Amino acid sequence: MSNKKTRFSVLLTALLAFALVVSACGSDNKTESNGNGGSSEKPVELIWYTIGVPQKDLAKVNEKINEYTKEKINATVNIKMIDFGDYTQKMQVMVSSGEPMDILFTSSWAFDYVQNARKGAFTAIDDLLETSGKGIKETLDPAFLEGSKVDGHNYGVPANKELPAQEVWRFNDELVKKYNLDIKSVTTMESLEPLLKTIKDNEPQVTPLSLTKDFVPLMPFDYIIEKLPMAVYLDTTDYKVLNIFDTPELKAALDTMHKFYEAGYISPEAATTTSVEDLYKSGKWFTDRASTQPLAENLWTASYGYPVTSTPAGKAYTFNWSVMGSMQAISANSEHPEKAMEFLNLLNTDPVLRNMIDSGIEGVHYEKVSENVMKNLPDSKNYDMPTFSLGNLLITYLNENDPENKWELFKEFNASGIDAPLLGFNFDATKVSKEIAAVQNVKEEFWSALMTGAVDPNEFLPKANEKFKAAGLDKVIAEVQSQLDAWKAANNK
């Protein structure tokens, strides 16, 4: 109705008044109870596409979800899951073809949030958050919504989870204890060396420093685009955009990596390795670097089957990509945007719905141990959803081995995060798309070999930098600087 022209308003008013009279008399068989003692139109069915391995018991759980949401908001939801590896491509095809949908998962790493918001795939939800999503605004750390704005508007609801990104050095604790190593002495990459040498000298079957081709040394940069060489310093005050290949920090980091590589601390195949899962399964590794969250050591230890410990590699920063790691958007083609926002509001504020979608049916997939603690039953293998992708983590039930203050620890961790300087800034690459593509090609040629220490930076750093400049990196940086200056002025940075 809201899209009809106002010239019909008089007629509509009359029709609506008549409909209300009929409804009040109970003679309209198209209306039904909304579960709150009132009447409403026929329940809306929302179509929800989300990421993850399709689950065997999804239809069974979906039926229970719909009994609940019909009573609560007079809506049902048809949950459609697409596996991780296929999600981006399939969603691009379906969104382009106008496939009916109301809610869809998006993020910084799958079905790119910023890019698709700019393409018009999503509904701007600023007003909807005020009318139908107030619970979301009350629940979420404000940095989630501020950091996920695109050109001044919100187009998705971020999952309430860990907000900052903090890197740690992880260690196989069996080897730490065996050689009585002091991991607290590790404050920089260089300070790893004595520990790596001990492992190299005494454990020939163990990889001292485990890396994949995606590894990047930890440096004091906030990147314009992840894994491309444009950045500002994390402590910037002037917001000057740098080519990191011109900085002393990169040169020092690459020198250290090459030294480690030459010493045999790094696998010779690191620059082409896509996964090190076999090392984790076998325990034949000593240290690596990973993103952490509260109680992460418990998760890693449970996953690998042996103790894993860690020490901070850097401070906790809230970046654009950490804010946009898991989001639900409302499709621009949705016929029911208000009802979609009502559903998202319920999903993020109602523990019954959130845990049903996350863990399945009580008594079938899990059982309650106490009010907010659960344990999985054998049938949980038929309904194992990716918890992080579904909404507010902080109202999910605890597992038996979780401390009672788990979610308080998350809140403390989120509050501790330092806002990265580019939080809320999203570069529009339209004017330099050709140059970005050329820069990307140069990155593919040099990046992994340099970052994993496989080649001598004295020889290859100048070669890479020369090619980056020939590809148009300076032009890209000039365009970034122009947009960043305007954003800085508009946001009083």
pLDDT tens-digit readout, 409-448: 999 999 999 999 999 899 999 999 999 999 999 999 999 9
pLDDT for position 143: 82
pLDDT reading at 94 higher than 80? yes
pLDDT for position 13: 31
Residue 475 lies in a domain: no
pLDDT reading at 297 higher than 80? yes
pLDDT for position 40: 53
Distances (CA, A) of 317 to 73, 165, 166: 37, 5, 6
CA distance 171 to 168: 10
Decide: 420 and 319 in contact? Cβ < 8 Å: yes
pLDDT reading at 317 higher than 90? yes
Mean pLDDT of the 91-96 span: 97
pLDDT reading at 463 higher than 90? yes
- We report the CATH number of the domain holding residue 85 as 3.40.190.10
Residue 122 lies in a domain: yes
Mean pLDDT of the 271-289 span: 93
- Beta bridge partners, 368, equal 374
pLDDT reading at 96 higher than 80? yes
Tally of domains within the chain: 1
Q: What is the pLDDT of residues 184-238, one digit of tens each?
A: 999 999 999 999 999 999 999 999 999 999 899 999 999 998 889 999 999 999 9
Residue 484 lies in a domain: no
Residue 4 lies in a domain: no
pLDDT reading at 10 higher than 50? no
Residue 107 lies in a domain: yes
Residue 267 lies in a domain: no
Decide: 379 and 364 in contact? Cβ < 8 Å: yes
Average model confidence (pLDDT) across the chain? 90
Q: What is the pLDDT of residues 445-460, one digit of tens each?
A: 999 999 999 999 999 9
Residues 6 or more apart in contact with residue 435 via CB below 8 angstroms: 471, 472, 473, 475, 476
Identify the domain containing residue 131 by its residue range.
43-162+323-358
pLDDT reading at 330 higher than 60? yes
pLDDT reading at 391 higher than 50? yes
pLDDT for position 345: 98
Q: What is the pLDDT of residues 116-131, one digit of tens each?
A: 999 999 999 999 999 9
Decide: 342 and 73 in contact? Cβ < 8 Å: yes
Mean pLDDT of the 348-370 span: 96
pLDDT reading at 475 higher than 60? yes
pLDDT reading at 38 higher than 50? no
CA distance 459 to 316: 34
